[in-house]
Each structure stands twice: as C-alpha cells, then as structure tokens.
Structure 1
C-alpha cells in the first residue's frame, strides 16, 4: 500500500537521518511532489527549475537527488536508457515496490501494482533458504498508443 507524503513528512525524514532540509533540497523535493508518477530525471528537474527562473544549478540537483535517494526518501530507478529517474519512495518498506512497463518506442513509463512474484519468492525461500527482501520488475515493449500508430 502506498502512502502520500507532505513536505513536513519529508523534512522530518531528513532530520531523522541527521540531515537538514536546505532550500535547494526543498525545491527539488517540491518538484518531485508536484509531478507524481512522472519519474523525473535530474535534467527534467533542472529544466523545471530553469523555467521557474531558479538559480539552482544542475550539479546541485544531482547531489540533492542522490542524497535523497541514498536516504530512502526518493526511489532511484533505471529504465534501460542510461538515465536515472526519481520519485518519492512512498512504498511501505514491508511491501514490495510497484513495477514498471517501459515503452521502447516513446519512452512512456506505466506503473502497475500487482505482485505476481509472491509465490516465486515463497518457493525460493522454501527450496533455497533465501529470503527475498525486495525485487524490481521492468517490462520493455510497446505501449498501446505506439502499437496503434504502427498499424
């Protein structure tokens, strides 16, 4: 089950991890909060900042996103194109993350929540004695719109 976080929640999470909510981190986090489900890259965040006449540089955006990811506040994702993307890590740590469908034509990313791997994880634990703490699933293919455009 996913949760919704406010800026105060995120500030508290940073403080619990012995970090301050700097003005730059707050602006970067607010952009991520304002674009739910968009899986923004550092360049995307920087572009939004530039459009809003912000003076925050790309290097600061990268550092902020990396730190927030390392602290577990953001989830860093790779979709096979060499570009890291970020979203608020709103997943209950006792549950698995959502999964992604990635269109290899237009780059659209679609999230889905169903977790069909639970039986496989139980089988792995039973047969191999290995407890799976998390997994990521990414399916690559063509979205509905790209399929229709090709017909």
Structure 2
C-alpha cells in the first residue's frame, strides 16, 4: 500500500484529516527517511511548497504524528529533537549506531531484543509494547582520525 494512503487511513481512524499541509510534512519525512530531521529542517523543506506555512504548524503536525504513532520523536544527545518514521514493516522502532566523533547515524532494522522481551514476560510478567536502543560510540575510521588530531594538537602545544 502507498505510504501516504496508509498514513491517511491512520489519520481517519483517529478522526483527523490529512490536510495538504500535513501531507507535505509527511512527504518530506518519507523523502528524507534516513536523515532524522529536526522541526526546523522539516519546516525549511516544506516551506518551498507552502510558503505561508508556519513553524508552529509543522511542530503541531509532528507532535500529532507522534501521538498517532506514525513518527517517533528522538534525541540523540545533541539537544535537538528529531523525527523518525515508524516503519509499518516492524513491530518496534529500529535501533541506531551514533558516532560521538563524526555524528554519523546508522539504522539497524533487525530486532535484536525479541528474546529479551520474551524473557521479561516469562520471568516478570511484563509485556513490552515498544523499545528503542541507541548505541553511542566511535567508528574505527573516526578513532584513527581522532588519534591523529590529538597527536597533531600535542605537537603544536
């Protein structure tokens, strides 16, 4: 099914309308799915199509998308809220690798926590409805670059 049509159905099921402005915001998220955009980034992209659209409208729409579980609001430790579409093909959100040196963010679509969820239910009577896992660290290529930079800084001192 077309993602926009699917999202439109989700809106209708909750008695909301997918207005052209909301649809434009969703389209920006779909077109930039791997970028984890901030409110301001979404606003700047939508503004091309809807110059009279305000930042507050983009913010409210993103919050509504979060309420409807279409989008996940995330913070990767940089103080900026970012928005990520929830894939209809997975029960849970995907996981992320976040490099603390270069800021690169990579998605892991595979769900590694299913066995843990089953154990939590079995041993604690706790049913997990969702989870998100972010791994913060440094890529090997960044570690090498970081070490070279540190050596160069020490040589200058």
TM-score (norm 1): 0.83
User: What is residue 118 of structure 1 aligned with on the other side?
Assistant: 114
Aligned length: 147
Structure 2 gap segments, 5+ residues each: 149-157
Deviation at 1:43, TM superposition (A): 0.9
User: What is residue 109 of structure 1 aligned with on the other side?
Assistant: 105
- Bigger Cα displacement from structure 2, 34-43 vs 136-145: 136-145
1:143 maps to which of 124, 139, 157: 139
Q: C-alpha distance in 1, partners of 2:63/2:100?
A: 26
- Bigger Cα displacement from structure 2, 75-84 vs 54-63: 75-84
- Bigger Cα displacement from structure 2, 95-104 vs 113-122: 113-122
Report which of the two has the higher share of helix. Answer: 2
Report the aligned-residue RMSD. 2.2
TM-score (norm 2): 0.80
Q: C-alpha distance in 2, partners of 1:86/1:5?
A: 20
Q: Which aligned runs of 4 or more in structure 1 are off by greater than 6 angstroms?
A: none
Structure 1 gap segments, 5+ residues each: none
Q: 1:57 to 1:138 in 2, by over 3 A?
A: same
Q: Secondary structure at the match of 1:119?
A: helix
